[in-house]
Structure 1
Amino acid sequence: MSSMSRPRGSDMFFWAICLAAFANLVIFTIAWLGGTFGAMLLGHGWHPPKFSLISYIRIVRGENELLWPETSPVGIYLGMVLFAVLLLAPAVLLGMKLMGLRKRNVGLARARDLQSLAPAGIAKRARELRPSLAGMKELPPDETGNLLGDLEPHGPELRSSYEDVELDLMAPRAGKSTGIAIPRVLRARGAVLLTSNKSDVYAVTRAERDRIGRVWTFDPQGIAHAPREMWWNMLADCVTIEGARRLAGHFVASVNDDTTKKDFWISAAQNTLTALFLAAARGHASVSDLLGWLADPADRTPIDLLRDAQLHAMAEQLQGTVRGAVETRDGIYETARQCVACLLDPEILAWVTEDPYLPQFRPDHHVLGRDTLYLLSKDGGGSAAGVIAGLADATLRAGVVAAERMGGRLDPPMTAVLDEAANVCRISDLPDLYSHLGSRGINVVTLLQSYKQGSRVWGEAGMDAMWGAATIKLLGAGLDDADFVEKVSKLIGQHDVSTVSVSRSKDGSSRSTSYRQENVLPPDRIRAMPKGTALLLATGIRPAMIKLRPWYKEPDAGRISAQAKEEVAAITERAGAKLTAGTALHAPVPPVPADTPTHW
């Protein structure tokens, strides 16, 4: 028989006796040691009584003077209490901590699973990727990889390698700037590219990056109210059809919600802009000339320039558009004009127009040093997103060319933080670039508010491609997309949960244990992650929960914070000066008083 019959309640009675005996043993041990400890504190030395049942009975009866003669009862009881606290409190706290840790991180990666991202593993990988580190015995942490955060709850510190590309999804005010963008810019070892629609990252990092290299600020819409101290030749890469088409694609993407869906007018406008960009670059024309061609479709200058450059097919295509039906031609040109409408603003146009008194920004030079490029633009109507995307793309492609000339990888690596990429940096083929930028030593970090935000720009297929190509993914607080969070919960996986059931009958009771599968992190827990934490999904590693490291909690935060306050004050002062100048410019002319003399 598999089991023997017992009287009802026999199991419970047996375990109750065992528990009572164990509890009395623990109480007696604490009282025995505690009383001796109290006597020792009162100067009577360490003389414990016999560890026997008689001693236990005397302690229960309060006959402590028979066990510890000439010792104050108050001192004995005080010793018992102190010893109980000293012995039980750490054990209770440790047990509670272990229970909480087990409940919290069950099924997630632990330190032993993340050795490749821990300090020793990431340092070894850095030596393999960066030949310049070969002669260094001890590597500074920032030379080994990009800081991700600390493994919950007590570390170790985790970093991604310099061949990883990253995709971060977090809600607003969940720590994207303070925990990711700012630390990446401050800790970068090589050239830096940052896009943003706010001045917060710029204000915190500009002074620090100015100590390392030159700071280039491209701020055509006055996000940080930075003075124009540079210009960029927007048409420099348009001497080839590929370069012209890429630039046209950036302007089209800035007004097209989904770059994967292009109707007739959008496609025709991109073709027309490609031809015009190509003609301007080959004919050494300016952006202002290009805007004039768009305003007057009958102007044959771009067609003649294309023919002079031996680009007859492109010239014929543009001429076919011009000679087409008036309604069709005007519709194509009007769509093209809408795509580059931001260039009608003279404040924006000046940043892409040659200026002999200001230095020219050269992407091919930038990627080889330790300079910093800030690309700031507003989102929404009238934004310079097309120009920002064009300059960001030109810089990334310059990095690829430089890496190929250096043997395949930039050293030191380049850091590209594309904050608000879906709003101000819509590089149409960014998902495709993800597949090889990391192998060129270009660390791209794309920051989005949600998966749907990226899908609206690059389409479902494009966003899926970016998700798959990103070797590091950080999912922060506030993800409210139910379908996406459900998919993430499935990716994390399930674990076994045991359930104990007790059945009773007239023949006794029996216990049985069954197991069921539950999600390691249900969707509601993913959505309710606290601010400052993130779920780390790294290629080939189990998911882990990490704690972000905000810049203001680092050792040098005091100095950087003081610099940031000065920069914010400077931004405020520049904004006030512009506002005053604008008010004076548009202020009504005051009336001349009647008693004002008509001559001096």
Structure 2
Amino acid sequence: MTSRSGRKGTGAGADEILPWFIVGAAALVGLVFSGVWLGGTLGAAVSGAGWNPPPFSLSTLTALTREGPGELWPAASPGAVVAGIAVLFGSGVALAVLALLAVRRRLSKPAGLAGRRELAAMLPKGAEARARELRPALAKQKRLDPDDTGNLLGNLEPNGPELRSSYEDVELDLMAPRSGKSTGIAVPRVLRARGSVLLTSNKADVYSVTRAERERTGTVWTFDPQGIAHTPRRMWWDMLADAGTIEGARRLAGHFVAAVNDDASKRDFWISAAQNTLTALFHAGNRGGRTVSDVLGWLADPADRTPIDLLNDANMTALADQLRGTIQGAVETRDGIYETARQCAACLLDPAIAAWVTPDPKVPQFRPERHALSRDTLYLLSKDGGGSAAGVIAGLADSVLRAGVVAAERQGGRLEPPMTAVLDEAANVCRISDLPDLYSHFGSRGINIVTLLQSYRQGSRVWGEAGMDALWSAATVKLLGAGLDDADFVEKVSRLVGEHDVSTVSYSRSKDGRSRSTSYRLERVLPADRIRALPKGTALLLATGVKPALIRLRPWYKEPGAERIQAAAQAEMQAITARAAQEVLK
């Protein structure tokens, strides 16, 4: 009895499917016949036989099946008829494939992310409207260059349009190595910048691609004390000029301390005392009109009273007394403080590095206050690790940024055109200790700053957990690219992206018939494993006040004019290689 019931159920299912099978087969035959009828008629017409379509009827279908296409278009060559049919079916298949790919790409975008409506302020029209509000100089121009309206972030996945942040935004980008930081962010920002440019890096890739293009806009200054690009020295910067005030001297000393202190949250007695000593010596050098070489001499000989005398002559008696107290203290303590200070400033012992911050009448002097108001470009290149010039690089970068703030205040609050600062490898070669505190302030002054890090943890090692949290909060635009392997951070981002309702349809069958029910559950928009597995060239966009979005970066080599830039980059790399070979021979 059970077996009979099972066979009955199977037969009922077949009876339900059979009518649909017949309808589908009839539709397929009709579609194929329509394609042959139209394609053959077009092929015959193109070959010169004229537009003579056969009757669209069952008898024509029968003749086509028995006799072939030649029976329906006797005046045309069989080859032309077959070619017309093939072209029509080929076009149909191509369109179907394109439609399928478009649907697949649309379905591949996770539900719950921002679309065009949510990102209206970043679309071309919204970006132009914001640019006219932020930059009064553009208000009277009828048509704006897209690069005048904001920074190109990329294209909204899956099929555009392009998205731009405003020049008021400040950006933090976290991406693993070889995930598109240079090609999709650093290089395009430098090439598209409207005002002055500051770039820090530990490689010559961005420099080699952008240098020739930036020379078309203004003067290019290359600060390369360790020979990253093997460029000859054609500039010098007065490092002690920023030590004219105690605050400036302390900031300068802080850059050298940060360059050797791996964790900003852990500052022991020796590190703090070394910064105080460097502050006093840098300020004494500035007030006395001395050079970096003099400061190094004072560090080497704690008994030298010259810096104390210079501070007293400048009426800086409190600072002079503090330095005297350090020198006259216990020998072990004094030597420990001075040795720590010497380690912090050890890079200046290299004459090749010290020459870049020592007055030289043979080459031009770089002046940060002039750079902020220009359309020039400053490349700051340094190696990682021990012996690097990271302290000098951070000091010069900080000087340029602060000069930009001063210039903006003198212009009424905002730089015009905006300054672009790309701090690539900021955790390695540009450790500005209070960068998180200054970040939001830069945006309000027309200084569009982008900090590039390999991971959240890398930033925490430099600025501490609290400092990195502050930097994350201050950034109004954040791009998270491929290769983020920090499980805790990725989980945190997944929670920030949020959850959405997912519907589940279930069917049931009873003696009263079939029923359909829908239930809902909350599910992560982007689980942690999916964020970690973001494809190269894509990034998760987190902008203030906007739902997260998925974008595709726009590498410079896929943009108009890439051939010219590529040729110039190859020539620059060849020149770098040649200079490196000459240095080896020397």
Q: For 1:144-543, list aligned pairs within 5 A.
A: 144-505=149-510, 508-543=513-548
Task: Supply the AA of the counterpart residue of 1:392.
Answer: A
Conserved? CA contact 1:174–1:531, under 8 Å: yes
Q: For 1:536-551, list aligned pairs within 5 A.
A: 536-551=541-556
| 1:594 paired residue number | none
**Higher mean displacement: 390-399 or 85-94:** 85-94
Corresponding residue to 2:95 among 57, 80, 90: 90
- Residues 152-193 of structure 1, C-alpha deviations (whole Å, 9 max, x = no match): 222111111111111111111111111111111111111010
Superposed displacement of residue 355, structure 1: 1.0
Conserved? CA contact 2:368–2:399, under 8 Å: yes
- Residues 212-245 of structure 1, C-alpha deviations (whole Å, 9 max, x = no match): 1111111111111111111111111111111011
Q: Specify the SS of the correspondent of 1:147.
A: strand
Superposed displacement of residue 18, structure 1: 5.9
Q: Distance in 1 between matches of 2:39 and 2:439?
A: 69
| 1:561 paired residue number | 566
Give the count of matched residue pairs.
569
Q: Distance in 2 between matches of 1:447 and 1:38?
A: 56
Task: Supply the AA of the counterpart residue of 2:503.
Answer: S
Q: Specify the SS of the correspondent of 1:112.
A: coil
Conserved? CA contact 1:239–1:281, under 8 Å: yes
**Higher mean displacement: 324-333 or 510-519:** 510-519
Q: Distance in 2 between matches of 1:84 and 1:573?
A: 57
Q: Distance in 1 between matches of 2:38 and 2:269?
A: 90
**Higher mean displacement: 385-394 or 275-284:** 275-284
Conserved? CA contact 2:198–2:422, under 8 Å: yes
Q: Specify the SS of the correspondent of 1:545.
A: strand
Whether 1:30 aligns to 2:35 is no
Q: Distance in 1 between matches of 2:382 and 2:249?
A: 22
Whether 1:122 aligns to 2:123 is no
Task: Supply the AA of the counterpart residue of 1:548.
Answer: L
Conserved? CA contact 2:64–2:71, under 8 Å: no
Change (3 A) 1:70 1:392: closer
Q: Specify the SS of the correspondent of 1:317.
A: helix
Task: Supply the AA of the counterpart residue of 2:425.
Answer: E
**Higher mean displacement: 544-553 or 457-466:** 544-553
Change (3 A) 1:31 1:559: closer
Superposed displacement of residue 40, structure 1: 3.6
TM-score with structure 2 length normalisation? 0.90
Change (3 A) 1:265 1:77: same
Superposed displacement of residue 91, structure 1: 4.7
Q: Distance in 2 between matches of 1:368 and 1:504?
A: 76
**Higher mean displacement: 89-98 or 333-342:** 89-98
Q: Distance in 2 between matches of 1:173 and 1:265?
A: 38
Corresponding residue to 2:114 among 109, 113, 117: 109
Q: Distance in 2 between matches of 1:563 and 1:220?
A: 23
Whether 1:45 aligns to 2:52 is yes
Q: Specify the SS of the correspondent of 1:416.
A: strand
Superposed displacement of residue 124, structure 1: 1.2
**Higher mean displacement: 257-266 or 412-421:** 257-266
Superposed displacement of residue 96, structure 1: 5.1
Identical aligned pairs, as a percentage? 68
Q: Specify the SS of the correspondent of 1:111.
A: coil
Q: Specify the SS of the correspondent of 1:235.
A: helix
Q: Distance in 1 between matches of 2:544 and 2:577?
A: 44
Conserved? CA contact 1:30–1:83, under 8 Å: no
Superposed displacement of residue 9, structure 1: 8.0
**Higher mean displacement: 498-507 or 202-211:** 498-507
Q: Distance in 1 between matches of 2:415 and 2:324?
A: 43
| 1:574 paired residue number | 579
- Residues 441-482 of structure 1, C-alpha deviations (whole Å, 9 max, x = no match): 101011111111101000111111111111111111111111
Change (3 A) 1:82 1:575: closer
Q: Distance in 2 between matches of 1:156 and 1:262?
A: 48
Change (3 A) 1:77 1:518: farther
Q: Specify the SS of the correspondent of 1:254.
A: helix
| 1:132 paired residue number | 137
Q: Distance in 2 between matches of 1:80 and 1:580?
A: 70
Q: Distance in 2 between matches of 1:281 and 1:77?
A: 88
Conserved? CA contact 2:172–2:450, under 8 Å: yes
- Residues 570-596 of structure 1, C-alpha deviations (whole Å, 9 max, x = no match): 211211121111xxxxxxxxxxxxxxx
Q: Specify the SS of the correspondent of 1:116.
A: helix
Q: Distance in 2 between matches of 1:413 and 1:550?
A: 23
- Residues 129-173 of structure 1, C-alpha deviations (whole Å, 9 max, x = no match): 112212321111111111111112221111111111111111111
- Residues 525-557 of structure 1, C-alpha deviations (whole Å, 9 max, x = no match): 222222111111111112111111111112211
| 2:4 paired residue number | none
Conserved? CA contact 1:473–1:536, under 8 Å: yes
Unmatched 5+ stretches in structure 1: 1-6, 582-600
Task: Supply the AA of the counterpart residue of 2:116.
Answer: A
Superposed displacement of residue 120, structure 1: 1.2
- Residues 371-391 of structure 1, C-alpha deviations (whole Å, 9 max, x = no match): 111111111000010000000
Q: Specify the SS of the correspondent of 1:415.
A: strand
Task: Supply the AA of the counterpart residue of 1:542.
Answer: K
Q: Specify the SS of the correspondent of 2:247.
A: helix
